[in-house]
Amino acid sequence: MKALQFNVNVPRFVAAKTLRALFGNSVFYKGPVKTIHLADVPEPGLITPDWVKIRTLYCGFCGSDLNLILLHDSPSASPFTSFPCIIGHEMVGEIVETGARVSGFSPGDIVTVNPGLTCAVREISPLCGPCAAGRSSNCENFAEGSLPPGMFLGITRGMNGGFAPYVSAHKSQLYKVPKGLSLEAAVMTEPLAVALQAVFDNMPQSGEKIFVIGGGVIGNLIIQCIRTLAPDCGIFLMEPSDFAADLAKTAGADEIVPAKDVFGRTKAITGARIYKPMLGMRMPMGGFHRIYDTVAGSATLNLSMRLLAAMGTLSVVGIGGDVNLDLTALWLKLQTIKGVYAYGMVEWEGRKQHVFEIALDLMKNKKIQAEPLVTHKFALEDYEQMIAVNLNKREHRAMKTVVAFS
């Protein structure tokens, strides 16, 4: 079968990085040193009787997929990946075969897949601390056990990611898609789970003023989650794209804050007092109670820490590399900075539930509108066009792009 395969070695890494300066980002997905290509790979089987085989219906293209292709990822995560790999971790599909030890799932079931390659998936016992605590996507054994290194489907050579017609998955990774929920909504389960977990881990309180940086897919979903879980908060967004900003206002943002007047609007919205140091960025005293930074570069993180009120909490949602930070606001305002990655178990409506379950339920009950964020569909063989669209979402008025399998 044809699948979208990523592979890189040191010579290719150096060549691609060098040629990028001359020819731009297209060198990473076109030409002799590209990191991604269509490959002929065998159809996957059942790894053990605890696994199922799934026919892929849709797979979403994530910002982390793009960062991988463009070689933007930090080398710090390299021990927890293995190549070559079939990328793609946002998927919905139909079960076509089940192992002998799989119960509760049958051929014909439409499922979405939690892509995390955890202790349970790797057949490791006893469970590590995060897995035992219900945060298995932060497993400590991503390079151990019965599978090659990989944090999730799409960055391990041991099993296919979702940009392939068929995928194998462990029974612990499966969640049934509710009847009546569209495939376009179901393929958004994983990114919605990311947004939900970020909000559960930094839950706004009644009447607070919230600031979101970046109105892309995750930023939009964070706004929807806050509007659903803490409806009387004020939600403010900084986003340069008019298209994304308009979608964010539909999703529940109260105001789009222009970057050029972010300090003035922070003063007007929160009552903060703005002080000008001898050098550098202005320092508000007061500010937003909680900030969710979906970009997480040096510029936005430094801005977030300035705009955050004393004893406020900043969620670092974007996955960046090395950053340079002025930590003055951190100690001056007694701030908390939280890492955000993946999803797990949370208390919701009186019981412990996995965030995937909550995401599916919220979409089924029309409390979260994720389907409209799917703006572009491609065939697998059109992957170069899909990457080009993701490199210029603003021009193409794109949010989530997906591969649709016939």
Domains identified in the chain and CATH numbers: 2-188+370-404 (3.90.180.10), 193-339 (3.40.50.720)
Q: Any idea what the Cα angle at residue 152 is, between residues 76 and 104, rounded to 5°? A: 160
Check residue 186 and give its pLDDT. 98
Give the Cα separation of 251 and 243 in Å (integer). Answer: 13
Phi then psi dihedrals of residue 248, to 5 deg: -65, -40
Give the Cα separation of 257 and 265 in Å (integer). Answer: 7
In a 10 Å sphere around its CB, with 0-12 CB exposed, 13-18 middle and 19+ buried, how is residue 176 labelled?
A: middle
Closest CA to 240 of 295, 292, 288: 295
| pTM of the predicted structure, to 2 decimals | 0.96
Backbone Cα Rg of the chain? 21
205: how many CB neighbours lie within 10 A of its CB? 10
Check residue 73 and give its pLDDT. 83
Q: Please say whether the beta carbons of 6 and 153 come within 8 A.
A: no
The DSSP bridge partners found for residue 351 are 348
Q: Please say whether the beta carbons of 6 and 84 come within 8 A.
A: yes
Check residue 22 and give its pLDDT. 87
Report the length, in residues, of the chain: 406
Give the Cα separation of 161 and 171 in Å (integer). Answer: 16
Check residue 179 and give its pLDDT. 96
Closest CA to 238 of 276, 293, 201: 293
Q: Please say whether the beta carbons of 1 and 40 come within 8 A.
A: yes
Strands (E) located in 62-139: 85-86, 90-98, 110-113
Check residue 9 and give its pLDDT. 87
Tens of each residue's pLDDT in the chain, 406 residues? 999 999 998 888 889 988 998 889 999 999 899 999 999 999 999 999 999 999 999 999 999 999 999 998 878 888 999 999 999 999 999 999 999 999 999 999 999 999 999 999 999 999 999 999 999 999 999 999 999 999 999 999 989 999 999 999 999 999 999 999 999 999 999 999 999 999 999 999 999 999 999 999 999 999 999 999 999 999 999 999 999 999 999 999 999 999 999 999 999 999 999 999 999 999 999 999 999 999 999 999 999 999 999 999 999 999 877 899 999 999 999 999 999 999 999 999 999 999 999 999 999 999 999 999 999 999 999 999 999 999 999 999 999 999 999 7
Closest CA to 40 of 386, 388, 389, 380: 380
Give the Cα separation of 103 and 304 in Å (integer). Answer: 47
Positive or negative, the Cα torsion across 296, 297, 303, 306? Answer: positive
| Residue found under tokens 């409390």 | 367
